[in-house]
Amino acid sequence: SADPKELLELASRLAAEAGRVLVEDRPRDLGVASTKSSPTDIVTVMDQRSEKLIVAGILAERPDDGILGEEGASREGTSGVRWVIDPIDGTVNYLYELPMWCVSIGVEVDGVAVAGVVEVPMLRETFTALRGHGAWRNGEPIRARSAQSGGGGGGEGEGAGEPVPLERALVATGFGYAAQRRAVQGRIVADLLPRVRDIRRGGSAAIDLCSVACGRVDGYYERGTNPWDIAAGGLIVEEAGGRIGGLRGTAASVEMTVAAAPGLFEVLCEYLEGCGADRDS
Ligand code: IPD
């Protein structure tokens, strides 16, 4: 069976286990095990260990499920359930012992995200979402609402759609690993910076999405996100009442991922469309 609640329980248990191993067993002399697309795109032995642990945990209970993992785990499955895993999102932070890294596990049934968990061990935070039921931080409901839309409450719908002007928006972003893409991303950030409250580059796309979901930033955008970066965080944003998508009404993809409080989403998309943020030159 594919009860989303049970899938979320398993995802949460495995993310917590992986998080524990990543904290407790982190070698003192952790180095880069290999690089992927470019010298900045790193893998540590701990990425690989985390992915192995999670995949083994899934297959022990659900041998017919499909899997897609950042470090190469990939299997088709026959059950209609697919697990999309980032064993360490924010690997560079992990390598440098910055606390902004996480384990991200999203679960899809017939191609639709139904459950997601983002475990952030160093911040002792677990973000979860269940399609149709909400999103939570350490079990407390969260809402994607801008600090700009007034009130301190956080009640359902409160301030939800009030427009957030770009100049009052705190916007998170991320950069790809390829130098050419980074050059373009740098130009866009330079153009955006004088127009917004400020910019954050946290170093983990999944945490950036959770930050949108709980109102710690107003918006987030990044070109070049992979499915495992956004599988869990995307559902967490939606279930927290935020919006996630690509430009010109498309779905979030490797082309562009934009997530924001409802009042900012369109403003941010329009700006990014206007400056060609989904181009590489
Ligand atoms: C990276 C992080 C980073 C984002 C990159 C991702 P990784 O994931 O999420 O914030 O800017 O696009 O690749 O490589 O640490 O799993």
pLDDT of the residue at 246: 97
- ipTM reported for the complex, 2 dp: 0.96
The model's pLDDT over 14-72, given as tens digits with 9 standing for 90+, comes to 999 999 999 999 988 888 877 777 777 778 899 999 999 999 999 999 999 999 999 98
* pLDDT score of 160: 52
135 close to 213: Cβ distance less than 8 angstroms? yes
Output the CA 92–ligand 1 centroid distance in Å. 8
Exposed/middle/buried for residue 2 (C-beta within 10 Å: 0-12, 13-18, 19+): middle
Residues enclosing ligand 1, CB less than 6 A? 70, 86, 89-91, 174-176, 203-205, 222, 224-225, 229
Would you call 37 exposed, middle or buried from its count of C-beta atoms within 10 A (0-12, 13-18, 19+)?
exposed
Among 101, 199, 229, say which to mutate for ligand 1: greatest number of ligand atoms within 8 Å of CB.
229
Ligand 1 atom nearest 229 alpha carbon? 9
Mutational pocket test of ligand 1: of 171, 204, 256, the residue with most ligand atoms within 8 Å of the beta carbon: 204
**Tokens 């590489």 appear where?**
280
Domains and CATH numbers, the chain: 4-141 (3.30.540.10), 147-274 (3.40.190.80)
